[in-house]
Structure formats: structure tokens, C-alpha cells
């Protein structure tokens, strides 16, 4: 994935229906969005550690990404995260930093084992 540029106006970013996408750019952490959805990216294997720099992120949805096996350890740095939706069958556990998500009010397991 190419470079993502910081734009003040973005409220939501949806990355979906990409069969070829295997990873996301570390520049993802430069965005100032409130909602991030990563949906139906069958070959996505890794999320960048820079995900933890999304300080304004309130909602994270990662669903139907069949090859994704773990979430980044930096997940616990998402201070504003209030909603987390996970639905990827190969994610077996949440990172240890998950316990640091003090604002999290909604956690939905959408088909994880």
C-alpha cells in the first residue's frame, strides 16, 4: 500500500474487498481518523505497529481478514478507543497491551475462535 497522507478532514477510513493487500503502510499511524474499518482483505497478514499512534481513533473494526493472525502490541496505546470489533478466525488472542484500553466500552467478537 502506498503512503497515506495526513488530512484533517478524515473522520472514517474503510479499507475493504482487497484480495491482493498483504500489509498496510506504517504511514497509517499518521492519520487523524475516528473510525477505521478493515474488512474482507483475505490476504492481509499484518497490521502496522503504527496503529497505536491513532490517538483520535474511537472505533476499530477488523473483520474477514482470513490470514491475519494477530493484532499489533501497540493496540493498547489507543487511548480514545471505545469500540473494538474483531472477526478474523485466525486471531487466537488479544495482545497483552489490551488491558491498557481504559476507554473501551464495546468489544465484539464476530466469529473469532
CATH number at residue 63: 3.80.10.10
pLDDT in tens, the chain (113 residues): 444 444 555 689 999 999 999 999 999 999 889 999 999 999 999 999 999 999 999 999 999 999 999 999 999 999 999 999 999 888 888 899 999 999 999 998 876 55
Report d(CA 15, CA 108) in Å as an integer.
19
The DSSP secondary-structure symbol of 19 reads S
Report d(CA 47, CA 9) in Å as an integer.
23
Asked if residue 2 belongs to a domain, the reply is no
Report d(CA 86, CA 71) in Å as an integer.
10
User: Of the candidates 32, 82, 84, 22, which has an alpha carbon nearest to the alpha carbon of residue 53?
Assistant: 32
Structural domain boundaries, residue 23: 12-109
Asked if residue 64 belongs to a domain, the reply is yes
Helix, strand, coil shares of the chain as percentages rounded to 5? Answer: 20, 25, 60
Amino acid at each position: 500500500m502506498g503512503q497515506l497522507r495526513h488530512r484533517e478532514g478524515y473522520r472514517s477510513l474503510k479499507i475493504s474487498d482487497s484480495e491482493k493487500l498483504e500489509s498496510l503502510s506504517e504511514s497509517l499511524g499518521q492519520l487523524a481518523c475516528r473510525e477505521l474499518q478493515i474488512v474482507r482483505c483475505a490476504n492481509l497478514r499484518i497490521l502496522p505497529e503504527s496503529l497505536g499512534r491513532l490517538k483520535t481513533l474511537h472505533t476499530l473494526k477488523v473483520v474477514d481478514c482470513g490470514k491475519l493472525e494477530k493484532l499489533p502490541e501497540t493496540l493498547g496505546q489507543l487511548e480514545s478507543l471505545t469500540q473494538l470489533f474483531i472477526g478474523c478466525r485466525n486471531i487466537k488472542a488479544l495482545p497483552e497491551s489490551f488491558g491498557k484500553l481504559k476507554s473501551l466500552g464495546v468489544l465484539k467478537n464476530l466469529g473469532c475462535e
